[in-house]
Amino acid sequence: MSRVLLVEDDPAVREGARLALRRQGHEVAPARTGEEGLAQLRSFLPDVVVLDLMLPGMTGLEVCRRIRADSQLPIIIMTALGDDVDVVLGLETGADDYVVKPVQARVLDARIRAVLRRVEAAPSPGGRGAVETYGELSIDRAALTVSRGGVPILLAPSELRLLLTLSAAPDRVFSRQQLLEAVWEHSYHGDARLVDACVKRLRTKMGEPPRKPRHIQTVRGFGYRFHSPR
């Protein structure tokens, strides 16, 4: 049973989602505000946070920033239909995935289970050593750790899985749809913003130059590749 912290100010939406998630086998702690959600974070110790962005007082974006300041806890944001700017901001702030209101219970349950699987498992391709070194960058596939110049890089689950997926096949070009399926388990024609925002966060954490990234490179019109300098 997973522990879900649900931060939503609308009573009807909050109670509906709480009951639906309980029926799916999750333990749910509801919170009405960002401040209450952060307090619950310390007492409830959730496995995943489902976070509305439009909260009174402290916004969902600020809650996301505070969680990401010292935790890689999976975060799924909820946003109203058509709030594209909020979606992008939420993903760039550190959210792992998002759902659009009105939220379908089966969709939310599927996203929660998918993001938790990303925490528990990561690709480990056969035939490659456990620890790989690319200049200053080191990837330990067995320990699921990444470092640059010996300094650990703390990555959210989606960021780590994206890096592991790309680096498993150096110089192979992955389309955004291929990455959505491999990292986010979105088998339908998914939202490329998930991939683009995650790449942006990953590059920042890896210290990649924005205009000429060394490892996570864009192949215009196709997708991304992990470049392994010779």
pLDDT of residue 125: 43
- Which CATH code, of 3.40.50.10780, 3.40.50.2300, 3.40.50.300, 2.40.30.10, is assigned to 3-120? 3.40.50.2300
Give CATH for domain 131-226. 1.10.10.10
Common-topology check for domains 3-120 and 131-226 = no
In this prediction, residue 151 has a pLDDT band, given cuts at 50, 70 and 90, of very high
pLDDT of residue 121: 58
pLDDT of residue 82: 66
pTM of the model: 0.82
Q: Which of 22-26, 117-121, 157-161 has the lowest mean pLDDT?
A: 117-121
Count CA atoms within 13 Å of residue 228 on its CB side.
14
Q: For the chain, which residues make up each domain, given as ranges?
A: 3-120, 131-226
pLDDT in tens, 29-79: 999 999 999 999 999 999 999 999 999 999 999 999 999 988 889 999 998
Q: Is the pLDDT of residue 13 over 60?
A: yes
pLDDT of residue 230: 57
- Buried/exposed code over 18-47 (b: 16+ C-beta within 10 A; e: otherwise): bebbeebebebbbbbbbebbbebbeebebb
> In 3D, which of 93, 91, 114 has the Cα closest to residue 196?
91
pLDDT in tens, 91-106: 999 999 999 888 888 9
In this prediction, residue 227 has a pLDDT band, given cuts at 50, 70 and 90, of very high
pLDDT of residue 102: 86
Query: Are 76 and 115 spatial neighbours (Cβ–Cβ below 8 Å)?
Result: yes
Which single residue is written with the structure tokens 């792992």? 96
pLDDT in tens, 155-192: 888 899 999 999 999 999 999 999 999 988 876 656 88
pLDDT of residue 143: 86
pLDDT of residue 127: 40
Q: Is the pLDDT of residue 126 over 80?
A: no
